[in-house]
Copies of this chain bind each other. A is one copy, B any other.
């Protein structure tokens, strides 16, 4: 596995430290916001392992399938008026010893396992084709097949009214359950829609728009086996996870993914030897940078500049070489168009570099 470093040096792997468990409870979640003053739910050291629960704010779409006692306790324990200004249930924050503004927080996601085998997709009032669908909201409930790693629609129903209160509990036991997408099987891509560090702002920051702190990036590649690098904004980092998804396409066009609670196992590492201005994703095959803006045209430009920076600062290419390489080998995609601040990502294959995106360990 490559470990990005300044000056092309190979960093030694960080051995696992202590193992922590972080349950999602009314006391360990913050619903709808990031804030640097939230009391940490967990204190860890760099290298520690964390087994944590990420709870979907759409569990109320099919409470009989998606809510257990732990989930219900959060709905009961967090008042609707305290679920603001965003919508996502965030577990944390996790205070990481030694993390300072200017560092990077490296999060290695090892496992993401559905808490139950059901998820919900909402055609939402913030969806890309809401007007074209006559301003109707509709819920489709999916069932997961953990053996085949696929999802299939179980039933669907129109939602009367508008999803305005995060964590709305619907009552489809009383409504018509319609069959949907018969025979279609969707590949499961369990991932975190929202995760990130606390922004350095002394007020609640909505979980909805993504940004330099991470947040609601909604890139389905942020799953098990991938590593995210988040720029630390405040002391301790104060990292939180939420908005778990089972499947999502690039675009997240209806407004949500298949939203489903996940148990997430990860390692968290403070990096002082490496900087990047925006959340950076490493997978086995790719480096992926993220650009944001309310205007896709500007998000595109931001993403292009970040890919240029990745290639010049971390692959030691000249700017001229990097620009040519980007044109012939970097793929730009639409991450999502439904979070107000829209997202574009660009990926480049690590295998094209002579050192596969890293270099030989100088001490080995």
Contact = CB atoms under 8 A, between A and B. Distances in A.
Secondary structure type dominating chain A contacts: mixed
Contact of A333 (B142, B184, B258, B333): B333
Contacts of A176: none
B249 A327 contact: yes
Interface stretch (A7-15, A19-27, A275-283, A344-352): A344-352
A296 B305 contact: no
A249 to B, nearest CB: 4
A334 interface: yes
A324 B252 contact: no
A330 B251 contact: yes
Q: How large is the interface on A (under 10, 10 to 19, 20 to 34, 35 or more residues)?
A: 35 or more
Contact of A129 (B133, B138, B304, B317): B304
Nearest to A151: B328
Interface string A127-138: 111001100001
Nearest to A346: B251
A274 interface: no
A39 to B, nearest CB: 36
Contacts of A321: 140, 153, 156, 180-181, 184
Given A296-B300, A297-B295, A333-B250, A324 B138 contact: yes
B129 A328 contact: no
Contacts of A151: 328
Contacts of A156: 320-321, 324
A56 to B, nearest CB: 14
A334 B254 contact: no
B352 A186 contact: yes
Contacts of A127: 323, 327
Interface in A178-195: 180-187
A50 to B, nearest CB: 28
Given A327-B256, A333-B333, A128 B304 contact: yes
A187 B22 CA distance: 43
Contacts of A91: none
A326 interface: yes
A238 interface: no
Given A123-B323, A319-B133, A320-B123, A253 B181 contact: no
B332 A253 contact: yes
Nearest to A319: B133
Interface in A117-176: 121, 123, 127-129, 132-133, 138, 140, 142, 151, 153, 156
A297 B318 CA distance: 32
A255 interface: yes
A261 interface: no
Interface of A: 121, 123, 127-129, 132-133, 138, 140, 142, 151, 153, 156, 180-187, 247-258, 295-297, 300-301, 304-305, 308, 317-321, 323-334, 337, 344, 346, 349, 352-354
